[in-house]
Each structure stands twice: as C-alpha cells, then as structure tokens.
Amino acid sequence: MAESKSLNLEENHQLIIEAIQEKKGHQIVTIDLSKIENSICDRFIICHGESVTQVQAITESIEKKMKEEARIRAHHVEGLQNSQWVLLDFFDILVHVFQEEYRSFYKLEELWADGEVMSLDKAL
C-alpha cells in the first residue's frame, strides 16, 4: 500500500482557498499569524456567503477537499446549526465562513490586524 504524503501548510492553505472559490465564496482574506507570539494558529482564512445555503456549501466543499486531497479532517467544526458563522479548525489553519452581515459585525480582519492581512479579492 502506498504511503500518503502529508501536505504542508501552504498546500493545505491553497486547497482551502480552492474549495471556497469553487462555491463562489466572497472577499477571501488570509491573515498570517505565524509571526505573532502566542497566536492560536498560523493562518486565518475568512470569507462569506450570501445565504445559509451558500455558507453550508462552502463549508462542505472545504471539508470534502481537505478529506480527499489532504487526507485530514477538521479537528473541530462549530456553527453549522445556524450557519451564520462557521469555524473549521485544521490546527494550523482556522477557517471562518460567515454570512455577510455577521462578518461585517464581528470584523475579524480588524481584530487580527497585527497579522499580515492579504485579500484575494480586489474589493474589501
């Protein structure tokens, strides 16, 4: 049986971004926290969907791609009950999938602005 190679942080990060883009997630932002002392993870990935259905589709897309291609499952998933803000914990990477109004309210990008913030979309 062939041994599966585990993916590194960058490869896992890229898989998550692809999964979000496949479901048309909006305003994808990555925050690099690796240089922040005592940070809870190395990366945040934040995006939003326009409806409960889209937030759920984005979440499912991420879980499926990570399971099939990275061979890892989220350590913890929270928020699926109402899909206003879903958190997927992949240890080194925390993924936040919001409905737009909740993203605007919580403003995680501002809370973690001491990390290196990179927008993958033109408009924020």
Q: How many whole angstroms separate alpha carbon 90 and alpha carbon 9?
A: 10
CB atoms under 10 Å from CB of 35, counted, come to: 10
28: left (phi over 0), alpha (psi -120 to 50) or beta: beta
Residue 69: give the domain boundaries. Answer: 10-119
> Looking at this protein, which amino acid is placed at residue 28?
I
In the predicted structure, residue 116 carries a pLDDT above the cut 50: yes
Q: Is residue 2 part of a domain?
A: no
Report how many domains make up the chain: 1
| Prediction pTM value | 0.90
Q: How many whole angstroms separate alpha carbon 84 and alpha carbon 12?
A: 24
Q: Is residue 4 part of a domain?
A: no
Cβ(73)–Cβ(63) under 8 Å? yes
Q: Is residue 1 part of a domain?
A: no
CATH of the domain at 70: 3.30.460.10
Q: Is residue 27 part of a domain?
A: yes
pLDDT tens for each residue of 72-112: 999 999 999 999 999 999 999 999 999 999 999 999 998 88
Q: Is residue 3 part of a domain?
A: no
Q: Is residue 5 part of a domain?
A: no
Q: Give the single-character DSSP code of 104.
A: H
